[in-house]
Amino acid sequence: MGLLGPCWVRWHCVQKSAPQAALPAPTGIMTVPKEMPEKWARAGAPPSWSRKKPSWGTEEERRARANDREYNEKFQYASNCIKTSKYNILTFLPVNLFEQFQEVANTYFLFLLILQLIPQISSLSWFTTIVPLVLVLTITAVKDATDDYFRHKSDNQVNNRQSQVLINGILQQEQWMNVCVGDIIKLENNQFVAADLLLLSSSEPHGLCYIETAELDGETNMKVRQAIPITWELGDVSKLAKFDGEVICEPPNNKLDKFSGTLYWKESKFPLSNQNMLLRGCVLRNTEWCFGLVIFAGPDTKLMQNSGRTKFKRTSIDRLMNTLVLWIFGFLVCMGVILAIGNAIWEHEVGMRFQVYLPWDEAVDSAFFSGFLSFWSYIIILNTVVPISLYVSVEVIRLGHSYFINWDKKMFCAKKRTPAEARTTTLNEELGQVEYIFSDKTGTLTQNIMVFNKCSVHGRSYGDVFDVLGHKAEVGERPEPVDFSFNPLADQKFLFWDPTLLEAVKMGNPHVHEFFRLLSLCHTVMSEEKSEGELFYKAQSPDEGALVTAARNFGFVFRSRTPKTITVHELGTAVTYQLLAILDFNNIRKRMSVIVRNPEGKIRLYCKGADTILLDRLHPSAPELLASTTDHLNEYAGEGLRTLVLAYKDLDEEHYEEWADRRLQASLAQDSREDRLASVYEEIESDMTLLGATAIEDKLQQGVPETIALLTLANIKIWVLTGDKQETAVNIGYSCKMLTDDMSEVFVVTGHTVLEVREELRKAREKMVDPSRTVGNGFTCHESPSSPKLTSVLEAAVAGEYALVINGHSLAHALEADMELEFLETACACKAVICCRVTPLQKAQVVELVKKYKKAVTLAIGDGANDVSMIKTAHIGVGISGQEGIQAVLASDYSFSQFKFLQRLLLVHGRWSYLRMCKFLCYFFYKNFAFTMVHFWFGFFCGFSAQTVYDQYFITLYNIVYTSLPVLAMGVFDQDVPEQRSMEYPKLYEPGQLNLLFNKREFFICIAQGIYTSVLLFFVPYGVFAEATRDDGTQLADYQSFAVTVATSLVIVVSVQIGLDTGYWTAINHFFIWGSVAVYFAILFAMHSNGLFDMFPNQFRFVGNAQNTLAQPAVWLTIALTTVVCILPVVAFRFLKLSLRPDLSDTVRYTQLVRRKQKAQHRCMRRVGRAGSRRSGYAFSHQEGFGELIMSGKNMRLSSLALSSFTARSSSGWIESLRRKKSDGAGSPGGGADKPLKG
């Protein structure tokens, strides 16, 4: 690149004044290994004893010696091979079966199968259970094997990547999995870093190299790393082969931005910091080659330490069904016991008297033993209350819902040609129950594209375009953009719409020239010129790139830099400035400055930074300019733009020399170096002259504000977890409308100690409570983690809307065991939460905290490898297929290309999936209890002999043929309201969050209805048949006629019931429902036909029974009466409920019907805006800038939401009252994970 970069000047100055071995570290602090003897500390050589471990084997420190595998192997460090798969060929079958039989239902059916293999108690054939059980196990095993195969394939692809490793003095090609700690690796441009390396040397001057860290922190901008000076010259293989330095450093950990260690070499020691490390997952950029020493490999690397474990995800309905299966089994046992006791009593009192006619089996020697065998027989007969077809049907329905997501054209991104993808089929209904969304920022909410939008120069604002009447023109009404053809070095992609700014440049306006001169000089951008006039800028933050590009197009082109100079082409003339100092940015200063000497010898300081910081450091000589600029800042901030203030100061030579001496002394300080430098910087950055301000638009992804607004109306809380800086995240929060000026307060937690963080959280909770309302004694109830109703009390007492912003270092303390509840309590009481500067593991910890204490479904969405842990931890993980690779997509459960599709995924597909699954389960339990309980009532009239009411073929076909397809059609296609209404009325989503449609209460209602139906199905025909006669006067009652009548009544009743339950009729529903009834009659008549009797006389004995029975009018009247008495109460109840207490979906359907009749137009949408306020938001990079290294060598306005309001019905508040009831019933989280908070 021809650029001299970081650390050149600093080391140059230091080398003049002190021997190299005694120098302080350029970054970081030297650490002396634990238990190092004093003589080694003095001599600076490494200790030779072996690494010590505590008794439990945890690594205390890492020791790695270069080019000495034998020495390093004795520590038994992890290899560089990674493994994310779960099975291998030998373990797949036993492990997978073990996992599947952890499902209660599978164990239940296995137990029944074993019972059916015992001939003394089996009244049904064993194949009725084993075939569907094996089918379910096989389908699940194939799916698991397929998923694990792809994990193996991915692991092999990574582990078999090639890397150049220095072995025995020769560079050899080695697979990544064979790389060991202590090896020296050569990396070339655009290669991935194979392990965590200590940078030794590179092709760039002074050991510099440039990396991209998108896989780690989600940022696509460049980072700079530098080798320590002692190893700069080790670029030769022969020199590297002789390198035998030893590194002693911290043990493996997940802190991406920290590293502490020491290199011992040539009887000297050299401190190491994160600035010297290349982490696995990074990509080498703009550097021809570099060499590194492997410090951490494989699972010990920081990337893998931040990768969460793959967790088996199950929905809340799955967990509830496991509980219900246990309850049903208990109910089954109770029924079996009752019938067994009845059998024992009957055999003792009645059966003993005519054993000649009905003898006992040979194995039965007493009435008690007969009852014992009868118990197991009834267990088998009654097991159909939970048939295995339930689980097959659930998987089929989920598969159908997944295909609907995949086929949804409204979630297809034409620009990227990327469809939405359901990567799992087991979580669809949980999409309809989400309460918390945890979102990444960069690349998820934003495009990470910055645009220079407006500016204020010497009190005049530029950027707006006005028409002939003086009205501000909107984007679509603007004329052609400014023509920059006069500038051959202009970036053709840059667009600006206000021509007056370019005219001011051409007219020689000195203020405008100085404005762009500052932008072209005050930055840390790297310039690369691949061909004449073809410039490429590499910036640490997108903002810096946007500002330098703007200056470039307006004629002030940053061309190149050296450690001591910056060359700028000013309106075609090359001007070289001497770079005297860079006063770099950090989170406390919130500004950066450069001191340059122009060709005339004049020294000037240029500064840019946050308005809240910089305006206080201006000279008070121009109050009018300050006032007008402040007005412009307020205007820009009101539009959600990221603002920045520019100022300058002239320095005389003597003043600068004195200051430079003080700065040099501060930079050489052994302790408090950063504080001393900050104090020196404060001295010179004062009494500056205001030059102007910039406004940058951080482009959001399309539809983000509308999506967030819609999800918020659905009572979904959105937390942003980002690795970016606070100012950037807060500005995006305002742009997304997560944060608004209407909020009572935005709390910012930035404490560096446990006490500071605790105090800030306490003050935030105190401010959130309305002073007029008394909560405990001075809020002390919130300080005690054992106090009941912890969260519900605070949330109920909150007056107004609040937001919480917390930094990563503060979050580390807030997530500690003794403070996590206080943090959760405070955060959950806020409308919006933004966590800044968080590591990937902290993202996962925040998600886990909410999962642990809140009975709520969580969803995590991100686009980078730094989001993988969060995605794996949440109940549902969504990957955005963006600019940062596909790691997030591969780890996700669902993926698509834009954040705005999330609203459709949840409010349409998720809500429908939950609705359909709940209706399916309610109906399925109902129809099977109605079917099975008839056997129970029949037991009292057959001597408790385990005789079935229906014939065996009807029992086999009932769930497979007669009732399977109609309920599948309802489970796949049913809707309560159209998709447009689901988006229009987001409150429709709340029943899923409250789990209203299928819970224990709804289950018992279905069971009660099923039992009621079974009573009528048995006793109505029984009562009729007791007295009825045929047309010829003979007795109607016989076993087979009764069985046909009850079975026919059952099929008709459950078919009519599913017709009532179906809310959205399609041709498929009609065909399946009425077709199933027709198939029933066809099979019934076929089984009682002469043809089957002739072929199988032993199986089909009752020839003509169905025809004779159904030819009797009394039978049809019985069937009709049974159907009416079964269905009529259901119809009456639903009619009364719809009239007296309709739910929201009923109201929406009614509103839709009225609209159709009246053909009323939709109400006009109201534009939502917010008042302006001044904010600063300069997006510096994830870490501090590298200005010192160089010296050494939005908004998208919320558009009209597609929301319509409707007249509130008398029952409109029932969901809110239920939510309050749920919240009030929450227990204290202080008792541990078994007492979750509710909110």
List, in sequence order, the alpha helices (H) in 274-381: 302-305, 316-349, 367-381
Lookup: tokens for 191:
């290669």
CB atoms within 10 A of CB 610: 19
Q: Tell me how far apart the alpha carbons of residues 583 and 677 are, in angstroms, rounded to a whole number.
A: 9
Intra-chain end-to-end CA distance of the chain, in Å: 56
Q: Report d(CA 882, CA 1027) in Å as an integer.
A: 75
User: What sign results for the dihedral spanned by CA atoms 25, 29, 34, 39?
Assistant: positive
Handedness of CA 466, 469, 474, 479 (dihedral sign): negative
| Cα Rg of the chain, angstroms | 38
Q: Which two tokens stand for residue 432?
A: 């309809």
Cα–Cα distance list, 452 to 319, 337, 606, 694, 774 (Å):
52, 79, 19, 8, 50
Distance, in Å, from the CA atom of 605 to the CA atom of 522, rounded to the nearest integer, reads 9
**Of all helices (H) and strands (E), which one includes residue 293?**
strand 289-296
Fill in the DSSP letter of residue 472: B
Residues noted as catalytic = 440
- Token pair of 889, please? 């997509």
Q: Tokens 């203020």 label which residue?
A: 511
Q: In what order do the strands lie in the sheet with 289-296?
A: 170-175, 162-167, 184-188, 289-296, 196-202, 277-278
Residue 453 belongs to what H/E stretch?
Answer: strand 446-457
* Residue reference for tokens 């991935």: 192
- Residue 392: phi and psi, rounded to 5, are -65, -45
Question: What sign does the CA torsion over 860, 862, 866, 868 have?
Answer: positive
DSSP-assigned states of every residue in 1031-1093 = TTSSB---HHHHHHHHHHHHHHHHHHHHHHH-SS--HHHHHHHHHHHHHHHHHHHHHTSHHHH
**How many Å apart are CA 831 and CA 716, to the nearest integer?**
10
Closest Cα to residue 1126, out of 1228, 1031, 1018, 1213? 1018
- Residue 54's CB is within 10 A of a number of other CB atoms, namely 8
Structure tokens at 746: 């935005």
Q: What is the spatial distance between Cα 1239 and Cα 716, in angstroms, rounded to a whole number?
A: 11
Residue 374: strand, helix, or coil: helix
CA 1229 vs. chain centroid, Å, equals: 24
Which residue carries 């909770």 as its tokens? Answer: 765
Compute, in degrees rounded to 10, the torsion defined by CA atoms 545, 549, 551, 555: 160
Query: In sequence order, which ranges of 985-1038 are alpha helices (DSSP H)?
Result: 990-993, 1000-1027
Q: Dihedral, CA atoms, 509, 512, 514, 517, nearest 10 degrees?
A: -120
Q: Which DSSP string do the residues of 527-581 spell out, in sequence order? A: EEEEETTEEEEE-SSHHHHHHHHHHHHTTEEEEEE-SSEEEEEETTEEEEEEEEE
User: 3-state SS of the chain: helix, strand, coil percent to 5?
Assistant: 45, 15, 35
